[in-house]
Amino acid sequence: MGWRLLALLILAVTVVGTLGYVVIEGWSFWDAFYMTAITITTVGYREVHPLSRAGEAWTVFVLVIGVGTFFFSFTLFMTLLSEGKWTERRERRRLARMLDELSDHFIVCGYGRMGEIIAREFSRHGVPFVVVERSPERLHAAMELGYAAVEADASSEDVLRRVRIDRARGLVAAVSTDAENVYAVLSARLLKPDLFIVGRAETDDARVKLKRAGADRVISPYHIGGVQLAQTALRPAVVDFVTLATSSENMDLNFEQIHIDDRSSLAGTTLVDAGLRQRFGVVVVGIRRVTGQMEFNPEPDTAIRAGDDLVVLGRAASLKELESAAGGTARRA
């Protein structure tokens, strides 16, 4: 609103001054406009044409009104800058562009301790995402890191539409309370039935409710943390290996989930016939079938079917080659 007022004030003084010279002195539009411009800017040039007494009076009027308008506009301009409205408006435009460009992205609901870790991991892997957070402080922290972030309630259907849930790849509900996560999952599932949704649960009761609300996976930080501590105590070497293979800091060795496309030459073959180890230097740890059934440590004669997801271990370059041959996408397992 303030920027429009500035523009209207300056435009109004210029138009009125120009029309006054045209009517009083009978000058051309350009001469009248030029005279108005040098008058309200007080540059001190000589008159375009000799002025009549009425023209001189009009010049005084334009000078007083023009200088007053410019001083007022300058004061308003500095006020807008000091209040940060110009910066805020620029950030809103930048965010709007980022949201319009979002596609095949994740929606991260909540930017607490867990949401921050999720966002950092997505950023490291180059996965597009947008954060939805109600706290202004947390939102500001996310935006300072360059993340696309919206200050809003993640359970609102209008908000989910705004962050382009129709083009999203998945949603992670990691808000601080179980109730908020349930509502966010329920809203997302209603808007996009085929969306992949991961929910965070603090209690066993919340796990059940999140599943009923439509979450594909439910994660309990306390349960996973407890299991990790126990496994570390019992099998430290195994845990070290898995951590190394799945760590985002280890870019040489990765676990990946590779989808087998219908058009892939690998579909309809067996593991031994496909020669994945010989051709790509990867190890097939498991196969997730279209039905959701997981087969661990599959035998060499195990069939690879279209729609399956291969869980493989290998180097980044080899995994890229396998992804191309599979005709699907690679996702960190």
Q: Give me the domains of the chain, ranges plus CATH numbers.
A: 2-82 (1.10.287.70), 102-225 (3.40.50.720), 252-332 (3.30.70.1450)
pLDDT at 199: 94
User: Is residue 41's pLDDT more than 60?
Assistant: yes
Q: How far apart are CA 76 and CA 69, in angstroms?
A: 10
pLDDT at 245: 65
- Mean pLDDT across 280-306: 89
Are residues 159 and 150 in contact, defined by beta-carbon separation less than 8 angstroms?
A: yes
- Amino acid of residue 158: D
- Residue for token digits 């493989």? 312
pLDDT at 81: 61
Greater model confidence, 156 or 68: 156
Name the average pLDDT for the chain: 84
pLDDT at 34: 87
Q: Which of 329, 261, 265, 269 is nearest to 290 (CA)?
A: 261
User: Is residue 110's pLDDT more than 60?
Assistant: yes
Greater model confidence, 266 or 94: 266
Parallel, antiparallel, or unpaired for β 196-200 and 170-173?
Answer: parallel
Which tens digit of pLDDT belongs to each residue from 125-172?
Answer: 889 999 999 998 998 899 889 888 888 898 899 999 988 999 999 999
pLDDT at 82: 60
Q: How confident is the model at residue 183 (pLDDT cuts 50, 70, 90)?
A: very high
Q: How far apart are CA 106 and CA 21, in angstroms?
A: 61
User: Is residue 100's pLDDT more than 90?
Assistant: no
Q: How confident is the model at residue 333 (pLDDT cuts 50, 70, 90)?
A: very low
pLDDT at 184: 94
- Amino acid of residue 93: R
pLDDT at 83: 55
Q: Which of 118, 131, 116 is nearest to 162 (CA)?
A: 131
